[in-house]
Structure 1
Amino acid sequence: MKAPLGRLVAHDLRGTMPDSPQGVVLVLHGGGEKGFGPMPWWEGPVLRMWPFAKAIEKRAGDRLAVVRLKNRYFGWNGPEQTPLTDARWALGRVRERYAGLPVALVGHSMGGRVVTHLAGEPDVTTVVALAPWVEEGDPRPGRPGLRVLLMHGVDDTTTDPRRTERLGEQLSAEGADVTWRPVEDEGHAMLRHAPTWHREVAEFVTSSLLR
């Protein structure tokens, strides 16, 4: 199924792009299993990632470029994997401007699934997966030198924190430096303890890229 003609289906990037940063953070939003409906900037999954970008910007200043990707569509969409295609496009734009800089990927839910697919990219040094959608058969590209933060609400009924914990064990077995952070009394939307999520992600990303 393709998106009907005339719909807003463009991917887009927004954020801060200083002249000489030490690294780049690419922030990826969530979505659903299926859906070719467009994702405007004001859609909930997209807006949910704005405070994470702001928290990183506040902590890092001009030392990091922080950009958010807006996908074309809502869904993962089976073998088309449309958000993965969009994220690869975004990485290409980042590399055009900041060739050779280390990249941190921060993704929630479906965006968390995307970051595990892209963790094997040579310039990706840091991966943050927040309540990620974890599927058997997806890539598990752990390696020495890769730093990973996995955060998941213990009360999440949309994606499974137990799968995220097992993902961490697999990545660690491959040599990645993994931090597993279950968040008590928290669901999928990361709203009950929002400041905790924002602060810990900002601390992890900046310490990883700026160490």
Structure 2
Amino acid sequence: MLLLHGGHEYGTSAPGPWNLPAVRMLPFERAARRATAEHAVLIGRVRYRCRGWNGERADAARDAEAALSELAEIAGDLPTVLVGHSMGARAALRAGGAPGVRGVVGLAPWCPPEDPVRHLDGRRVVLLHGDRDRVTDPQASVDFCARARTAGAHASFVEVRGSGHAMLRRAAAWHGLTARAVTGLLGLTPLSSRFSGEGCLPAPP
């Protein structure tokens, strides 16, 4: 499992030691560790070279792909789930077609309508989005889910009602849904029907 934190639309400076978007992912890491404690699961974090996506450079996506290559060198051919928030979710979705990627879990993802989906054919994609998000658009996640399904992905959308982009309200729901998605995508537990890729309409947890 690889975690990808959020970032900015533009920014070429390196993330500092006190990186709030990275800190925001720590509870998700802890939830995943608890959920996989009885299994041999390797959990890592993608480190970005700079803070932003930066247009066509797509720096975060390039870093995600580099992390997957490094993981393969270290641990061999392992089934992998990418879990990303906001810009990190966009990077995870962009890298989701790489060899070994079993699925992608996008948290409040940034899903521009021009982003590709064909590479997700055959992959499982779970998008979680708060209905009070004012930073990234929940409807854009629904639209991306529908496009990915048309391209052959097993994509699903789950609405977290009453929560926004920072995932602070209803935090336990975010952490629990993510942990269950990860264990299901890795085949450690039965995959919940809400993550089965049967639809992209809002379905509250």
TM-score category of the 2 structures, normalised to the smaller one:
0.7 to 0.9
Deviation of the 1:38 alpha carbon: 2.0
CA contact (8 A) 1:41 1:47 kept: no
**TM-score normalized by the length of structure 1:** 0.84
Q: How far is 1:116 from its partner?
A: 1.4
Gapped runs of 5+ residues in structure 2? Answer: 189-205
Q: Pick from 15, 24, 30: which aligns with 1:39?
A: 15
- 5 Å matches for 1:25-174? 25-61=1-37, 62-140=39-117, 141-144=119-122, 146-174=123-151
Give, in angstroms, the shift of residue 93 of structure 1: 1.2
Letter in 2 for 1:59: A
Q: Tell me the secondary structure at the aligned position of residue 127 of structure 1.
A: strand
Match of 1:183, as an amino acid? V
Q: Report the more deviating stretch, 123-132 or 74-83.
A: 74-83
User: C-alpha distance in 2, partners of 1:87/1:177?
Assistant: 21
Paired residues of 2:65 and 2:98 also in contact (CA < 8 A): no
CA contact (8 A) 1:29 1:108 kept: yes
Distance 1:179 1:41 in 2: 35
Q: Secondary structure at the match of 1:75?
A: coil
Following superposition, the deviation at residue 97 of structure 1 comes to 1.6
1:199 corresponds in structure 2 to 176
Identify the residue that residue 184 of structure 1 maps to in structure 2: 161
Unaligned 5+ residue runs, structure 1? 1-24
In the alignment, the residues of structure 2 paired with residue 47 and residue 180 of structure 1 have an alpha-carbon distance, to the nearest angstrom, of 25
Aligned CA distance change for structure 1 residues 177 and 196 (closer, same or farther; 3 Å): same
In structure 1, how many angstroms separate the alpha carbons of the residues matched to 2:61 and 2:17?
A: 18
The structural deviation recorded for 1:89 is 1.6
Shift of 1:41: 4.3
Sequence identity (%)? 38
| Aligned-partner Cα distance in 1 for 2:11–2:158 | 30
- Please say if residues 9 and 54 of structure 2, whose CA atoms lie closer than 8 Å, have aligned partners that are also in contact: yes
Change (3 A) 1:77 1:136: same
| Distance (whole Å) between structure 2 residues aligned to residue 41 and residue 121 of structure 1 | 29
8 Å CA contact 2:113–2:144 kept in 1: the answer is no
Letter in 2 for 1:166: D
Q: SS where residue 137 of structure 1 aligns?
A: coil
Higher strand share: 1
Task: Give the distance between the partners of 2:113 and 2:17, measured in 1 at CA.
Answer: 31
Question: Which residue pairs with 1:5 in the alignment?
Answer: none
